[in-house]
Amino acid sequence: MSVWNPENIRDVAESVGIVNLHNEVTENLARDVEYRIAQVLEEALKFMRHSKRTTMTTQDVSHALRVLDVEPLYGYESTRPLRFGEASLGPGQPLFYVEDEEVDFEKLINAPLPKVPREISFTAHWLAVEGVQPSIPQNPTAAESRNLELLSKGPNANSTLAAMSGTNVAVKPLVKHVLSKELQLYFEKVCGAFLDSSEEYRTSGYASLREDPGLHQLVPYFVQFIAEKVTHSLKDIFALTQVMHMTEALVQNKSLYVDPYVASLIPPILTCLIGRQLGGNADLTEQFALRDLAASLLGLIGKKYSHSSHALKPRLARSCLKTFLDPAKPFGAHYGAVIGLHSVGGSEAVRVLILPNLATYSNNLLGDGLADDNPRRPEAERVLEALLAVLGTLREGCLPQVNGHVPQVTEDVREQLTGRVGDIIAARIAEGGEVQLAQAILEA
């Protein structure tokens, strides 16, 4: 005997046009319906227990039907359990129905009205300005950004671990930066003009990159081009020089916001300033001209962007000082370090960083470099000239000595000067009669 009444099966069969249904068939169908109902109830009980509830709801049954791949029931779902009432139609034929909740009409009329929903409105906000997100309520806060950075990334990332840690996992689609055909053509033309042999084309490209507005989308591409060209053209002095001119044009363009890309521009400039070998077998004059250009560009960047990064100037000065104090570096790198320190820090950097190390540097390196049989003597001469030039900035603010006599450096002053800057530099200052410079060095 089955719990499900076979007469219900017969009623359903007659409703679809099947009149003569065998008794054995109705009994088998009744047992199958009973099994299916029990299966649905078992799955619904699982959802009820996992929800920490003791009352089954219609949502549990809907979830069970979905898990069993059965077409879900249509209608409204309620989070409250249904209350069934029982009505008797006769002996042994009870009828169950869903009891409707009785509502007091007076209470319904006197109840406060619900809040009026807001009208649909649209607003706009800046998601990012030149690559920097402003601090507004619509954008994520710094704490939320740090949580997103801590999430596991990559194709093998486990999102379940992130969910267990309490962070919301959001999968963002990849966004590609699409440039218009006009900007792509402009980028190719400008890069080709800077490396062209015609001076007219180079001048036109420099003027365009320095003054044209509307080039914001091309700034990261120009920065990448500069870095790659310096990396792969260390033996081409012409390419290195033109790339530095391109960097100068980018920095001097008033309509471009280059602050986020300064950290990427500095390594190519430092390479052209304190690199070990630049241009291969190029002329010595061209190599030092490139270092001069890189030093002036480094000073321009330090002056223009030091307000946005307070550690910019100290980091640049530290890199140049490290090269200047390295005896294994060639004289060309020392020359770039000296003029780089002066460009970044001015006379104060000369007084604090260069002057205390001059005696050791002059006695150990310049003495050997200025020997007659040393093939590096022209480079050592350039370093000596650069040191005398930057030391000359210490005279700023000193009053000239006017007493009617030709100024000369006495032996006593020369001895003190030798102890401060070494014998070679002291001899050059004494031979030039730079009394004011000697006094400024001794007082520094």
- CATH number of 43's domain: 1.10.20.10
Which of 274, 309, 344 is the endpoint of a domain?
Answer: 309
Q: Does the residue 356 lie in any domain?
A: no
- 106 found inside a domain: no
Q: Look up the pTM and report it.
A: 0.59
**Boundary-marking domain end, from 309, 343, 366:** 309
pLDDT for the residue numbered 297: 93
The answer to whether 89 and 77 are in contact (CB under 8 A) is: no
pLDDT of residue 227: 92
User: What total of structural domains would you count in the chain?
Assistant: 2
Residue 338: both structure tokens together: 């000296």
If you ran DSSP here, which 8-state letter would residue 90 be given? S
Looking at residue 404, its pLDDT comes to: 46
**Does 439 reside within a domain?**
no
Residue 368 domain-assigned?
no
How far is 302 from 319, CA to CA, in rounded Å? 13
Domain assignment of residue 22, yes or no: yes
pLDDT by residue, tens only, the chain of 444 residues:
567 788 888 888 888 888 888 888 888 888 899 999 999 999 999 999 999 999 888 888 888 998 998 887 766 566 666 777 888 766 667 777 888 878 888 888 888 888 887 777 777 777 777 777 777 777 777 676 666 555 555 555 555 545 545 555 555 555 566 778 888 899 999 999 998 888 888 999 999 999 988 888 899 999 999 999 999 988 889 999 999 999 999 999 998 888 888 989 999 999 999 988 888 777 888 899 999 999 999 999 999 888 877 888 889 999 999 999 888 888 889 999 999 999 998 888 888 888 888 888 887 777 677 777 778 888 888 888 888 888 888 877 565 555 544 456 677 777 888 888 878 888 888 887 777 888 888 887
- Is there a domain that residue 270 lies in? yes
**Calpha distance 286→182 (Å, rounded):** 36
Torsion of CA 111, 115, 116, 122, to 10 degrees: -170
Looking at the domain assignment, is residue 57 inside a domain?
yes
Query: Going by C-beta distance under 8 Å and a sequence separation of 6 or more, which residues neighbour residue 90?
Result: none
**What proportions of the chain, in percent to the nearest 5, are helix, strand and coil?**
60, 5, 35
| Domain span holding position 269 | 183-309
Q: Which residue carries 């054995």 as its tokens?
A: 24
Residue finishing a domain among 41, 58, 79: 79
